[in-house]
Structure 1
Amino acid sequence: MPITLPRDLPAYRVLSDEGVMVMGVDAATRQDIRPLRIALLNLMPMKIATETQFARLIGATPLQIDLTLVRMTEHVSRHTAPEHMEAFYRSFQDVKGERFDGLIVTGAPIEHLPFADVTYWDELTEVMDWTQTNVHRTFGVCWGAMAMAWHFHGVPKHMLPAKAFGCYRVTVERPASPYLRGFSDDCVIPVSRWTETRRDELEDAGMEVLLASDRTGPCLVEDAARRCLHIFNHFEYDSDTLAREYARDVAEGAPVDPPLGYFPGDDPAKAPLNRWRSHAHLLFGNWINQIYQTTPFDLDRIGRVQE
């Protein structure tokens, strides 16, 4: 089954060209089926690239997905055209009376800021509390995952001495987890962050580490009590995302080395190979499957019934 997207959303054309099944909103409304409602709270500056990355992953399952793009209400994007935001995004204040089967909270390039200094932090805490009554399962990514761990459990983020940047091998620690169904014993994932959350603090808060690296720490963590997954790295990245980030950092004079284990022979002149795509699809497919297996058919019962 396809993912439902507006036909004039840039991701519609990109994913169609890649062979991903997509359906226009008008066609979807004629189908006698209850699609899964997934919201994407997009905090990244390059919103079109990010929405395409996540739509690609959640649109690759056999289930029909109705994707809603959400923005912080008062925050104005400086890197995405106002016309795009107006046409395709809804503010959190506009959607908070609704219920969703799933919510993805993306990362944001604001790791250096204390959480309370983020301009939209107050509304984001409202979003996170809202997930406990109006969202069946939540998936926090990178800074979004750190924000949820801090808000719900007081788990801090710690500055790293140097940016964790590259493709790192992570090990499956809970092979029986339904989220890791079909995973190899280990896999490679892109990492791009200046901060970390520490294993002992996550586990002391009652969370379970599912994927981890001895070099970059916890990667995927489950907070079962909150129906949340936290991933601190970036399975959603395109093949060239780290290359573009590296070029940007170099242009800005940031103290960063080429991403480790990413370019063939660690040579930035060579095109990188994507070694994480299959596990990215597995993880998000497993997450969607868990939602499908456990969410109420009646959306109004989300947040009101025990699984």
Structure 2
Amino acid sequence: MKQPSLRIGILNLMHDKVDIQERFSKVLQNGPYEVEVDFFYPRSHYTGRPVPDLVQQISQPLDFRKVTEYNAFIITGAPVEQLPFAEITYLEEVHRLIDRLVEQEIPQLYICWGAMAAADYLYGIPKRLLPEKIFGVFPNFRRDPDPLLAGLPDGFLAPHARYAELDIARVAADPRLVINAVTESQRLFSFRACGQKQYFLFSHLEYGRDALLKEYRRERNAHPDIQYLKPQNYFRDPLHMKGPEFSWEHTQRTFFDNWLRSVAEQMTVNQLVKE
């Protein structure tokens, strides 16, 4: 049986845009489905200044009229989790996109900062700064069965890299939400909205082998006077920061294959309803 062809839209809010787009293209297009991926940038992020040539070459301005053309949409993380939402220039545009996705019942995958922004907007759960950045590869444990985690063992490995988190007690107490998995230290891996096509992922599962090392070097080079935390449980030789291991590769492949399968199933349901 021929697998359906899927169209996925991605609002790319990360700074390393080329790397991010290569990573998402790889994890989505090397799976079990034929997938077309389009990347967008928020117009309001460049208010009063020109859009960089590179950004224009690899992505397109967010167009709310085109949102209905996609079978699912991803809003990525962003390196702004330490800033209050009120200081984010493109937040209103993100909110408008979320409204459009919900209105059109398009499956949504929110990742890291994208998950924090969506949970704050949709469910009133604010983010808060962590005592220190959660940074490295950690085992994650199920709290509730979830089809996107099917095929993964309890204690599955995943990369985490963020300075902020939602209040897990607030998430657990909200009857509209179900926590799927957490780390041993009770940091969120993911939760979903009951009866909604919304999934909130706090791990950067799109990251490839060298992504955590690149993130560490980028932060250190930007602020050499600050002693940054090194990624944990990541190097074969932690002392010299050599030999980064891609220990979450199975988690990555399994999760994104499961997510694409859920998108394809929803597309099939939508087609049957139209008929």
Same fold by TM (over 0.5)? yes
- Name the stretch that deviates more: 164-173 or 254-263: 254-263
Q: Give me the CA root mean square deviation.
A: 2.5
* CA distance 1:295–1:171, shift in 2 (3 Å): same
1:35 to 2:8 alignment = no
- In 2, the alpha carbon distance for the partners of 1:267 and 1:35 equals 46
Q: Secondary structure at the match of 1:69?
A: strand
* CA distance 1:91–1:296, shift in 2 (3 Å): farther
1:17-166 pair list within 5 angstroms: 35-76=5-46, 82-93=52-63, 95-96=65-66, 98-166=68-136
Q: Secondary structure at the match of 1:264?
A: strand
Q: Alignment identity in percent?
A: 26
1:185 to 2:117 alignment = no
| Structure 2 residue corresponding to 1:211, chosen from 171, 177, 181 | 181
1:294 to 2:266 alignment = yes
Counterpart residue identity of residue 38, structure 1: I
| Structure 2 residue corresponding to 1:273, chosen from 223, 245, 248 | 245
- In 1, the alpha carbon distance for the partners of 2:105 and 2:17 equals 22
- Residue 231 of structure 1 corresponds to 201
* CA distance 1:286–1:223, shift in 2 (3 Å): same
Q: Secondary structure at the match of 1:86?
A: helix
Q: Secondary structure at the match of 1:62?
A: coil
- In 1, the alpha carbon distance for the partners of 2:147 and 2:212 equals 29
Q: TM-score, normalized by length of structure 2?
A: 0.89
* CA distance 1:62–1:233, shift in 2 (3 Å): closer
- In 1, the alpha carbon distance for the partners of 2:269 and 2:179 equals 30
Q: Secondary structure at the match of 1:185?
A: coil
Q: TM-score, normalized by length of structure 1?
A: 0.80
Number of positions where the alignment pairs a residue of Structure 1 with one of Structure 2: 268
Deviation at 1:187, TM superposition (A): 1.2
- In 1, the alpha carbon distance for the partners of 2:117 and 2:240 equals 32
Structure 1 runs of 4+ aligned residues shifted over 6 Å read: none
Question: Can you list the C-alpha shifts for 1:181-209, whole angstroms capped at 9, x where unaligned?
Answer: 11112211111111111222112232111
- In 1, the alpha carbon distance for the partners of 2:77 and 2:154 equals 26
- In 1, the alpha carbon distance for the partners of 2:265 and 2:207 equals 27
Q: Secondary structure at the match of 2:71?
A: strand
Deviation at 1:271, TM superposition (A): 1.6
* CA distance 1:33–1:166, shift in 2 (3 Å): closer
Deviation at 1:165, TM superposition (A): 1.1
- In 2, the alpha carbon distance for the partners of 1:250 and 1:132 equals 39
Give yes or no for contact 1:198–1:217 (8 Å, CA) kept in 2. Answer: no
- In 2, the alpha carbon distance for the partners of 1:231 and 1:291 equals 16
Deviation at 1:298, TM superposition (A): 6.5
Give yes or no for contact 1:166–1:261 (8 Å, CA) kept in 2. Answer: yes
Counterpart residue identity of residue 87, structure 1: Q
- In 1, the alpha carbon distance for the partners of 2:39 and 2:197 equals 21
- In 2, the alpha carbon distance for the partners of 1:144 and 1:260 equals 23
Deviation at 1:120, TM superposition (A): 0.5
1:256 to 2:265 alignment = no
Q: Which runs of 5+ in 2 are unaligned?
A: none
- In 1, the alpha carbon distance for the partners of 2:15 and 2:212 equals 15
Counterpart residue identity of residue 136, structure 1: I
